[in-house]
Amino acid sequence: MPALWLLGVTGCGAPAEPPAPVPSSPSATPRQPAGEPGEGTVTIEGQDEAETVQRWTPPSVQIDPDQRAQARRAAQAALREGRLYATGDDAIPIWLALLEQDPRDQRARAGLRQARTALLAQADALLQQQLQQRQALAEAAGIALVLLTIAPEDEQVRRLQRQVETAQRAVAFNRAGEDDLRAGRIGEEGDGALDNFREALALDPDNARARQGLAAAESGLIARAENAARAGDFATAGTWLAEASKVRDASPTIADAFERIEAVRTATLARLRDQGLRDLATPQGLKAAREKLEAAMRIALPGDAAVALLRGRIELATHYGSFRPGQVFSDALRDGGRGPQMTVVPHGGFQMGAGPSEPGASDAERPSHYVRFERGFAMAITEVTVADFARFVKSANARPRATRRGHSIVYDERSGNFIRRSGVDWQSDYDGGRALANHPVMHVSVRDAEAYANWLSEQTGRSYRLPSEAEFEYALRAGSSGRFPWGDAGLPPEDSGNFTGSQDVSPSGRHWANAFIGYGDGYWGAAPVGSFRPNAWGLHDMSGNLSEWVADCWHASYRRAPSDGVAWFNPGCRGRVIRGGNWANAPEQTRAAWRQSQDSDTTSGRIGFRLVRGI
Give residue-wise pLDDT tens across range 505-559.
999 999 999 999 999 999 999 999 999 999 999 999 999 999 999 999 999 999 9
Alpha-carbon distances of 165 from 22, 475, 477, rounded to whole Å:
12, 66, 69
Question: Where are the domain boundaries for CATH 3.90.1580.10 in the chain?
Answer: 325-383+445-615
pLDDT category at 40 given cuts 50, 70, 90 is low
Residue 113: what residue type?
R
Give residue-wise pLDDT tens across range 255-294.
999 999 999 999 999 999 999 999 988 878 889 999 999 9
Q: Are 91 and 111 in contact (CB under 8 A)?
A: yes
pTM: 0.53
Highest mean pLDDT among 52-56, 148-152, 216-220: 216-220
**CATH 3.90.1580.10, applies to 325-383+445-615:** yes
Q: Are 321 and 354 in contact (CB under 8 A)?
A: no
Q: Are 340 and 380 in contact (CB under 8 A)?
A: yes
Order of strands across the sheet with 377-380?
Answer: 328-329, 342-345, 377-380, 612-614, 464-465
Question: Which range among 82-91, 256-265, 406-415 shows the weakest confidence by mean pLDDT?
Answer: 82-91
Establish whether the linkage from the previous residue to 367 is cis, with ω within 30° of 0.
Answer: yes
Please choose, from the candidates 444, 437, 359, the residue with its C-alpha nearest in 3D space to the C-alpha of residue 405.
444
pLDDT category at 52 given cuts 50, 70, 90 is very low
Percent of the chain with pLDDT over 70: 90
Q: Name the architecture of domain 175-249.
A: Alpha Horseshoe (1.25)
How far apart are alpha carbons 611 and 351 in whole angstroms? 22
Question: Where are the domain boundaries for CATH 1.25.40 in the chain?
Answer: 175-249
Is residue 596 predicted with pLDDT exceeding 80? yes
DSSP 415-480: TTEEEEEET--TTB-TTSSBPPTTSBP-S--HHHHHHHHHHHHHHHSS-EEPPPHHHHHHHHHTT-
How far apart are alpha carbons 79 and 98 in whole angstroms? 15
Q: How confident is the model at residue 316, as a pLDDT?
A: 60
CA 328 to chain CA centroid, Å, is: 27
How far apart are alpha carbons 411 and 322 in whole angstroms? 44
pLDDT category at 317 given cuts 50, 70, 90 is low
Q: How confident is the model at residue 18, as a pLDDT?
A: 37
Q: How confident is the model at residue 603, as a pLDDT?
A: 98
Q: How confident is the model at residue 39, as a pLDDT?
A: 55
How far apart are alpha carbons 562 and 15 in whole angstroms? 99
Mean pLDDT of 349-360: 95
